[in-house]
A and B are shown apart, each in its own frame.
Chain A
Amino acid sequence: MTIYYSEDHEWINVEGSIGTVGITEYAQNALGDIVFVEVPEVGDEFAKGDEVSVVESVKAASEIYSPVTGEITAVNEDLEENAALVNSSPDGDGWFFKVTVSNKDELEELMDAGDYKTFIAGLE
């Protein structure tokens, strides 16, 4: 398994042909207290870069873009009642959805953990 990161602060943990997607610690911290997550539906198809989900903090709504092209195979239903999981465990229990990774080349356009760390250091 390998974890990739997007410039929009999503992570995708790829195991075989399925990627689990969430937002990073940096993103949850920047968003503040998260009160609602709108997840896609199983079976929805998205192209890389499509708006796939919305995160609402007490302050504002933020769009989440699909880091790859694929079909949604599962969504985190716990977020419906407990969106704060994204704050407390952004890279664990606060995952958003699972998606098929149909084009592995798209992963090459994402960052690895080291590159992402450098990327966010440049945003400070």
Chain B
Amino acid sequence: MGEQDRNSLKTPLYSLHEELGGKMVPFANYLMPVQYPLGVMAEHKHTREHAGLFDVSHMGQVVITGDGADVWLETLVPGNIIDLKPGRIRYTMFTNEDGGILDDLMITKRDNDMFMVVNAACKEQDIAHMRAHLPDHLKLNELTDRALIALQGPMAATVISRFASEAKEQNFMSYLEAKIDGVTCFISRCGYTGEDGHEISIPADRAEDICRLLLSEPEVEVIGLGARDSLRLEAGLCLYGHDITVKTTPIEGALEWSIGKRRREQGGFPGADKILDQITNKNIKKRRVGILPDGRAPAREGTQVLDARDNVIGEITSGGFGPTFGGPIAMGYIKTEFSEKGTKVYLAVRKKKLEARVDIMPFVPQQYFRKH
């Protein structure tokens, strides 16, 4: 065991991962399963066709309690949090004074508090950021005694409703609390795969039992971080630290859909001047786009995007092979004048110049659940 492994944290599901043959690798201070014996390709396809179970307990779960927690959160994020109805979830991001993204996150308005899920690699920094701004009348609690799992795929809702029937008709981006095997779970209809499904927060000491219950269902396979990454890339979803960073604004990152009308009019979040100016005047220099290589060779993160005359016009921030798409896919930043769908560009891959095209994401259709 290497130095890094010894210092790595383990989730409450670590021993289950080992028992299931998970290949454990260091990720965001944790030892996490990158894949299981099934392999990344089959795990990916299984999730798209049936249901996949993911351990995402490395992510941060935080609760803000106190009157006006929603009003205060709007001073840190550009999302519309005040107008969220109880039981609804919003995707937003912490921004800094330059309009850069510090992290992206999910905020749920619950009856008496605000529940947030933040990225593992950013959670310490996010919590410090919030504490630095937290008024005395609000309390911040990190829920370190809870595991977080995701059940994703077309059969996910059917499976979970066998244990918590309430979850079946639950709308996309909504939250409820229900008992699974006698223990109260926080069940959110959302995910990071582009599929229907749920994220489920479970008391740490019962997480393994509940995972075993879900895994005993015929539709469910356990899925590692490798397939989680290829699934989210096909779905066009950003990976913080790669596709969005402190050096990209929400507008450059093509995330302006997450900033509602009232926030655009009123501002009041870090970097609002710059971000709102970018929305109004469309004066961004670069834009996050999908990029599809014409051939079969994947273009990885860091690959330069060139124009016909070899000028560097962008960079790939996530790239690989889309198992369901059936070919190489990528996303990255490109100079705005090249960002239109269909624009022919070139990728500098190993001394070669490969043809590619700007495309819109997602690369596979999203399957989110909406009540009729």
| Cβ contacts under 8 Å, B321 to chain A | 35-36, 56, 58
Tell me the minimal C-beta distance from A75 to chain B in angstroms: 14
Q: If A38-B350, A58-B230, A58-B320 touch, does A33 touch B300 (CB 8 Å cutoff)?
A: no
Bound complex: CA A57 to CA B297 (Å): 10
Tell me the minimal C-beta distance from A36 to chain B in angstroms: 5
CB distance B297 to A36 under 8 Å?
yes
Binds A, one of B33-41, B49-57, B158-166, B339-347: B33-41
CB distance A54 to B350 under 8 Å?
yes
A42 close to B (CB within 8 Å): no
Tell me the minimal C-beta distance from B37 to chain A in angstroms: 11
Tell me the minimal C-beta distance from A11 to chain B in angstroms: 22
CB distance B296 to A58 under 8 Å?
no
CB distance B226 to A35 under 8 Å?
no
| Cβ contacts under 8 Å, B41 to chain A | 32-33, 35, 58
A93 close to B (CB within 8 Å): no
A123 close to B (CB within 8 Å): no
Interfacial residues of chain B within 218-233, with CB under 8 A of chain A in the complex:
226, 230
B323 close to A (CB within 8 Å): yes
Interfacial residues of chain A within 40-83, with CB under 8 A of chain B in the complex:
54, 56-61, 80-81, 83
CB distance A58 to B226 under 8 Å?
yes
Which among A33, A54, A81 has the highest number of chain B CB atoms within 10 Å?
A33
- Could you say which interface size class chain A belongs to? 10 to 19
CB distance B328 to A36 under 8 Å?
yes
CB distance A59 to B297 under 8 Å?
no
B253 close to A (CB within 8 Å): no
Q: What residue in chain A is nearest B226 (Cβ atoms)?
A: A59
Count A/B pairs, Cβ under 8 Å. 44
B298 close to A (CB within 8 Å): yes
- Count residues on chain B whose CB falls below 8 Å from chain A CBs: 18
Bound complex: CA A33 to CA B41 (Å): 6
| Cβ contacts under 8 Å, B328 to chain A | 35-36
Interfacial residues of chain B within 327-356, with CB under 8 A of chain A in the complex:
328, 350
CB distance A38 to B297 under 8 Å?
yes
| Cβ contacts under 8 Å, A35 to chain B | 41, 296, 298, 321, 328
Bound complex: CA A63 to CA B321 (Å): 17
Q: What residue in chain A is nearest B42 (Cβ atoms)?
A: A33
Tell me the minimal C-beta distance from A40 to chain B in angstroms: 12
Which among A32, A33, A57, A58 has the highest number of chain B CB atoms within 10 Å?
A58
Bound complex: CA A110 to CA B365 (Å): 49
Q: What residue in chain B is nearest A63 (Cβ atoms)?
A: B350
Q: If A35-B321, A38-B350 touch, does A59 touch B298 (CB 8 Å cutoff)?
A: no
| Cβ contacts under 8 Å, A57 to chain B | 40
Tell me the minimal C-beta distance from A54 to chain B in angstroms: 6
| Cβ contacts under 8 Å, B230 to chain A | 58
CB distance A80 to B226 under 8 Å?
no
Tell me the minimal C-beta distance from A32 to chain B in angstroms: 6
The contact of A59 among B40, B42, B296, B350, by CB within 8 Å, is B40
Q: If A35-B321, A36-B321, A36-B328 touch, does A56 touch B39 (CB 8 Å cutoff)?
A: no
| Cβ contacts under 8 Å, B320 to chain A | 58
For this complex, 14 residue pairs linking A to B, each with C-beta atoms less than 8 Å apart, are A35-B41, A35-B328, A36-B321, A36-B328, A38-B297, A56-B298, A58-B226, A58-B230, A58-B323, A59-B40, A59-B226, A61-B300, A80-B296, A83-B296
Contact surface of B with A, Cβ cutoff 8 Å: 34-35, 39-42, 44, 226, 230, 296-298, 300, 320-321, 323, 328, 350
Contact surface of A with B, Cβ cutoff 8 Å: 32-33, 35-36, 38, 54, 56-61, 80-81, 83
Q: Contacts A35-B328, A58-B321 given; 7 further ones with Cβ under 8 A?
A: A32-B39, A32-B40, A33-B41, A33-B42, A35-B298, A61-B298, A83-B296
